[in-house]
Amino acid sequence: MDGKTVAWDEAHAHVISNTLHYGFGVFEGIRCYKTERGPAVFRLREHMKRLRHSATILGFEVPYSLDELVEATREIIKANGSDECYIRPLAYIGHGGMGLSYENCDVNVSIATWHWGEYIGQGTLEKGSRAKTSSYIRHHINSHMSKAKACGNYMLFQMARTEARRDGYDEALLLDANGHVAEGSVEHVFIVRDGVLFTPSLAHLLDGITRATIITLARDKGLELREELFSRDYVLTADEAFFVGTGAEVTPLVELDNRRIGDGRRGPVTTMLQQAYFDHVHGRADTHPEWLTYV
């Protein structure tokens, strides 16, 4: 926290914290994986660069350089003795005033790590997940800063996932204001039709780092990829579908709204891309070594 290693039980923020009340902060979700060369963080610099960009979009600066954030992440992983972990950097407004104007407030930065397994649900990486089309609509492109991974933006996604889980599903699928498929609660979505990979364009979505990774791996494999708008019907009649994200990694989507997608199992394209992804994050691949930062 703010350049100091703090014990878990002592990592406190005050109840009169601007970000706690208004959600004005930015964060990242990053994973560290076990490799033959020791722990390695996947695309760490890209994540920390996006953290700083998110703050710029909201109108404040992260008071640490990219190199300082990268080194601090390596230090806290070492301090916690982790082989694998989830990493959560957070830049937030602490003390300094409770008004909506934050110009005289200090910006605090914390980086925490913990163990986080299969985010969508135990066993879903293999057996696949079930999703519900959410009753909540993805933010309109002009309703908020969609390219910032901002704390307050995630209330919508939390409500969507809570609704889906209460209704017996693993995840939510949100549509945009025009009825096109947007994303999961914290994941980008891909579908496969006749061997072609489709994913929604980034017009009003966060620039997903895992999404970019999967696109690169798909092109490496010679797959045709199209970024375009499509409807919920298109998902229901797809051959395969899957979610991607730092938490979700590459999780098959085998059912939407109680309708089976494809044959209701993890498909061959999903399997191929999932294997390629895990080969890279675990340091088993020969390509894209720049994606790993070894601890």
DSSP letter at 282? T
Instruction: Please state the separation of Cα 283 from the chain's center in Å.
Output: 20
- Strand, helix or coil for residue 265: coil
Distance, in Å, from the CA atom of 246 to the CA atom of 161, rounded to the nearest integer, reads: 16
Q: Which of 127, 132, 149, 221 is catalytic?
A: 149
CA atoms within 13 A on the CB side of 192: 24
The closest of 197, 214, 209, 196 to 279, measured between CA atoms, is: 214
Please give the full DSSP string across 16-59, using - where no structure is assigned: S-HHHHH--EEE--EEEEEETTEEEEETHHHHHHHHHHHHHHHT
Distance, in Å, from the CA atom of 253 to the CA atom of 125, rounded to the nearest integer, reads: 9
CB atoms < 10 A from the CB of 14, how many?
A: 9
Distance, in Å, from the CA atom of 87 to the CA atom of 76, rounded to the nearest integer, reads: 9
Nearest 5°: the CA angle 130, 137, 202 is: 85
78 is catalytic: no
Angle, helices 209-220 vs 268-281, to 10°: value is: 110
- Strand, helix or coil for residue 159: helix
Both tokens of residue 147?
A: 């390219």
Catalytically active residues are 149
